[in-house]
Structure 1
Amino acid sequence: MSIEALIFDVDGTLADTEEAHRISFNSVFEQYRLGWTWTRAEYRQLLEVPGGKERIASYIASLPLGTAERQRLLALVPQLHADKTRFYGEVVSEGGVTLRDGVERLLNEAVAQGCHLAIASTTTAANINALLNATLGPRGLDLFAVIACGDQVRAKKPAPDIYRLALDTLGLPPEQALAVEDSAHGLRAATAAGLWTLVTPTFWTQDSDFRGAGLVLPSLAGLGLDELIRIARPASTASPVQALYQETR
């Protein structure tokens, strides 16, 4: 069965965006005078919680607070996240994030060969739009046949919902698509949806458990679409009887 689509995660996969996200979270915390600052080490641990709103709520739950104050801060989460998204858009639009090595070449190669591109991400549509416009220009959104975002499904990664949504929208079975991820949560989501998955870790995810990945590489640099498909769908080896038949034809 031929490969008809590549489905990409966004944060960490298309681009190493997490430092920009961390800076944006800290900017909104400063704006609201909350006295919180997420260090790189702390944010690396917080990334175990998928989704920005969920990450803030998880952090609030870990603080030694009274019931009333905790409830006040939890009620503030949607506004904190909305303002954080605005800060992130500004960072990205100012050139603060670039695509990872090999990403743009693989995207272009896939499109040239008639392979559909899709996105399956837990981040917001606004964050995806900002990144694609800043890194790929006006054509960025048009490259992708499907863009599935976290708020479109009930359960975020590591649940497979977002990948199932992308596959359903593409109208393809998992056997006709490949996934590209950077995290253990993303890997679990993709494989649970039945997808063969390539993982390209970053600083934020490199110590994670990637058992179950079809392939783990430092980046997409040097990896062509044809080679990727050959690795993911190797030609079946003929049995001795089949080989003998083929030789005598």
Structure 2
Amino acid sequence: MGIDALIFDVDGTLADTEEAHRVAFNLAFDRYGLGWSWSRTEYRGLLDVTGGKERITSYIQSLPIAPTDRRRLLELVPHLHREKTRFYSSMVNDGGIVLRDGVARLLEESLHAGRRLAIASTTSAVNVDALLQSTLGARGLEMFSVIACGDQVKQKKPAPDIYQLALRTLGLTADRAVAFEDSSNGLRSAVAAGLWTVITPTFWTEGSDFTSAGLVLPRLGDPEKPLSDEPGRQLQRSAWLSFDELCALARPAAPLDSVQALYRGIA
């Protein structure tokens, strides 16, 4: 399979951002005097809902409260999310988040090989901009030919909309790109768009169903931080996923028929 572009999710994939998001949500809740505090365990479950505003809405809908109180809280959702984004951006700008092992290396290898990079994320554009500039410097945004964010599509992951948007903007068919994800919702989204997908789970997503992934690794790895049991287990050339080996491993994703799509909750 010839690869013309690599398409990356952001939260959990480029960087393990979820703890910062959780803290930012709780700070926003405190600012509004709501008395809510999402624990790590609780937040891990809430990640089944993609998108920050959608996550708050889902939480409010689950609360045993009167309809009038629920309506009042639902009206607060855009304000809560805006405040949460402000807290999160501040943490990112202060250097509180770093890229996961191997990410910067693989980005550079891919660009050096003449391939394009893209983002397909359910997070907001301001969060993506802050993370890329904080972790990759002034050229962070320039490295990516396409940055597709959640507010640009009608349906968020696990629907394929965001990956379809990235592919359309790149001018590519799915067999010419690969996706990188960390979650089952992200994997379902990428596979539904026809993309061969690499999964690198985190604490927040480990143990999920990744059977439709093309490759599952604990992280991308680096020469300075090689993957244990590699090469020889899933990789053959080195103890980290290089661009050359990615090209050798990648295969076009098998398209889902209508029955499979319905079963996986995509149709």
Normalising to structure 1: TM-score of the pair? Answer: 0.93
The number of residue pairs the alignment matches comes to 234
Aligned to 2:147: 147
Aligned to 1:11: 11
Question: 2:118 aligned with 1:100, yes or no?
Answer: no
1:207, distance to aligned residue in structure 2 (A) = 1.2
Aligned to 1:64: 64
Q: Structure 1 counterpart of 2:218, which letter?
A: P
How is 1:21-170 mapped onto 2 (pairs within 5 angstroms)? 21-170=21-170
What per-residue deviation string (whole Å, max 9, x for no partner) do you get for residues 16-69 of structure 1? 000000000000001001000000000000000000000000000111111111
Aligned to 2:179: 179
Aligned to 1:240: none
Aligned to 2:241: 223
1:96, distance to aligned residue in structure 2 (A) = 1.0
Q: Structure 1 counterpart of 2:140, which letter?
A: G
What per-residue deviation string (whole Å, max 9, x for no partner) do you get for residues 135-171 of structure 1? 0011000000000000000000000000000000000
Take 1:29 and 1:128, find their aligned partners in 2: how far apart are those partners?
A: 22
Q: Structure 1 counterpart of 2:7, which letter?
A: I
Aligned to 1:209: 209
Take 1:164 and 1:23, find their aligned partners in 2: how far apart are those partners?
A: 31
Take 2:127 and 2:117, find their aligned partners in 1: how far apart are those partners?
A: 18
Show structure 1 runs of 4+ deviating over 2 A: none
Take 2:26 and 2:87, find their aligned partners in 1: how far apart are those partners?
A: 10
How is 1:226-237 mapped onto 2 (pairs within 5 angstroms)? 226-233=244-251
Structure 1 residues not aligned, in runs of 5+ = 235-249
Structure index of larger Rg: 1
What per-residue deviation string (whole Å, max 9, x for no partner) do you get for residues 206-245 of structure 1? 01100100010000112100101101149xxxxxxxxxxx
Structure 2 residues not aligned, in runs of 5+ = 222-239, 253-267
1:84, distance to aligned residue in structure 2 (A) = 0.4
Take 1:233 and 1:58, find their aligned partners in 2: how far apart are those partners?
A: 37
Helix, strand or coil: the match of 1:197? strand
1:95, distance to aligned residue in structure 2 (A) = 1.2
Looking at secondary structure, tell me which structure has more helix per residue: 1
Take 1:36 and 1:207, find their aligned partners in 2: how far apart are those partners?
A: 27
Take 1:49 and 1:2, find their aligned partners in 2: how far apart are those partners?
A: 34
Normalising to structure 2: TM-score of the pair? Answer: 0.87
1:2, distance to aligned residue in structure 2 (A) = 1.8
Helix, strand or coil: the match of 1:142? coil
1:117, distance to aligned residue in structure 2 (A) = 0.1
Take 1:229 and 1:84, find their aligned partners in 2: how far apart are those partners?
A: 39
What per-residue deviation string (whole Å, max 9, x for no partner) do you get for residues 70-101 of structure 1? 00000000010011000000011111110000
What per-residue deviation string (whole Å, max 9, x for no partner) do you get for residues 190-219 of structure 1? 000000000000000001100100010000
Take 2:137 and 2:73, find their aligned partners in 1: how far apart are those partners?
A: 37
